[in-house]
A = this chain, B = another copy of it.
Amino acid sequence: MIKAGVIGATGYAGAELVRLLSGHPEVELSGLTSRNYAGRPFWEVYPHLYKYVDPVCAEQDVPALVAQSDVVFTALPHGHAMAVAKETLAQGKALIDLGADFRFRDAATYESWYKVEHTARELIARAVYGLPEIHREEIKVARLVGNPGCYPTSAILGLAPLLKEGWLEPDSIIIDSKSGVSGAGRGLSLNTHYCEVNESIKAYGVAGHRHTPEIEQELSALAGRQLTVSFTPHLTPMLRGILSTIYGRLTRPLSGGQAHALYRDFYAGERFVRVLPPGMLPATKAVAGSNHCDLGVVVDGRTGRVVVVSAIDNLIKGAAGQAVQNMNIMSGLPEDTGLCGPGVYP
């Protein structure tokens, strides 16, 4: 059994991790910490887990938690995983960080977009960007994983096949993403007040969202040259899910059938990426509650563009599920252990 600890267990991503880990057949929860709910039973904070998760939320004693764990997950605001990483690696354990601290190859990029100093620069070279479909081999041997952001997961999986094969003009890419509210976290804010969110859609972080450089880092690596993208996230009135609609200009003619074959082949054998049959397009509802990324691709001959639609559950493939997938890969387990359900519908 893998002993797994969760630091920051009572945010939505943390709680989803607790749910997935508590049902994982090869995992034993070694500890849960929470700043806001220390001392209270976890099920009091998340009543769906009553009778499922017994432990009491602990104060954040990192060295102790690391000591009793094989793998540590951090589900904290950015800037808080760096110290944990040092401690974890010093004790010879593995860390999977659901925040942004270890997603960037270049500390300067991180610092300029996140406005904090990176205090564990020496670990950046050891960190792997935890998108298994792109970096599986590195993840297998990693001890430090920067789990991807939710938007980047949907965008990168949506673009990888086209970019890798040079089908897109690199600077033509526009990613228009629509997210459910759980992506904004459980913290209190007028932005997540039911009455402000329901029956409304709005864009936010236009031309400045912090997931932009993360997307650009990975797409540039796939394209083999530096590129910039326009990325616009939107807040939409639903609980879970991200739908990314992605536009790019083709460098040369491509038929719809070729595009579909390209995606089907690129993701052949992938357990969690479903390239939908031609004529079907993703909907967030079809992936909610699962670790899937559903993809559909449409070629628009009239404008010379391709439109890719990508759907994930932001808390699962966009956060906790992907983290568990990474843990499985790092541990030599079948990649879908504890992640095998298809989601709930409707």
Which residues of A are in contact with B by a Cβ distance under 8 Å? 12, 15, 19, 22-23, 44, 46-52, 171, 174, 176, 178, 180-182, 186, 188-190, 192-204, 206-207, 228-230, 232, 234, 236-241, 243, 245, 247, 274, 276, 280-290, 294, 298-300, 302-303, 305, 307, 309, 311, 340-346
B193 touches A188 (CB 8 A): yes
Please state if B206 and A287 are interface contacts (CB–CB under 8 Å).
no
Complex contact A204–B23 (CB within 8 A): no
- CB–CB A239/B199 < 8 A: yes
In the complex, what residues of B have CB within 8 A of residue A204's CB?
281
A206 touches B302 (CB 8 A): no
CB distance A206 to B236 under 8 Å? no
CB-CB nearest in chain B for A227: B303
Q: A50-B286, A202-B282 are in contact. List 4 more A-B contacts (CB 8 A).
A: A178-B201, A188-B189, A202-B309, A237-B237
Name A307's contact: one of B190, B206, B228, B307 (CB within 8 Å): B206
**Cβ A207 vs Cβ B298 within 8 A:** yes
Contacting pair B238 A199 (CB below 8 A): yes
Cα–Cα distance between A247 and B206 once the two chains are bound (Å): 11
Given contacts A47-B280, A245-B232, A345-B48, contact A199 B202 (CB under 8 A): no
Q: Which 5 pairs show the lowest CB-CB distances between chains A and B?
A: A200-B285, A207-B300, A195-B346, A202-B283, A188-B188
Are B281 and A202 neighbours in the complex by a CB distance under 8 Å? yes
Q: Which residues of B contact A197 (CB under 8 A)?
A: 194
B284 adjacent to A201 (CB under 8 Å): yes
State whether B186 touches A193 (Cβ < 8 A).
Answer: yes
Q: Among the listed B200, B202, B276, B302, which residue makes an inter-chain contact with A50, where contact means beta carbons less than 8 Å apart?
A: B276
Q: Inside 8 A of A22's CB, which chain B residues have their CB? A: 342
From B12, B50, B200, B298, contact of A206 by CB (8 A): B298
| Contacts A/B (CB < 8 Å), 17 sampled | A15-B345, A19-B345, A47-B276, A48-B286, A48-B343, A48-B345, A52-B342, A174-B176, A180-B199, A194-B237, A198-B238, A199-B240, A207-B302, A230-B305, A232-B307, A288-B344, A289-B344
Chain B residues within an 8 Å CB radius of A305: 174, 207, 230
Known contacts A51-B274, A174-B174, A303-B228; is-contact A346 B196 (Cβ 8 Å): yes
Residue pair B47, A200 in contact (C-beta under 8 Å): no
- CA–CA, A310 to B78, complex, Å? 32
Asked if A195 meets B190 with Cβ closer than 8 Å, knowing A47-B286, A228-B303, the reply is no
Shortest beta-carbon distance from A310 to chain B in Å: 10
Please determine whether B23 and A341 come into contact, CB atoms closer than 8 angstroms.
yes
CB distance from A189 to the nearest CB of B (A): 7
The answer on a CB contact under 8 Å between B174 and A346 is no
In the bound complex, residues from chain B placing their C-beta under 8 Å from that of A236 are 178, 201, 236-237
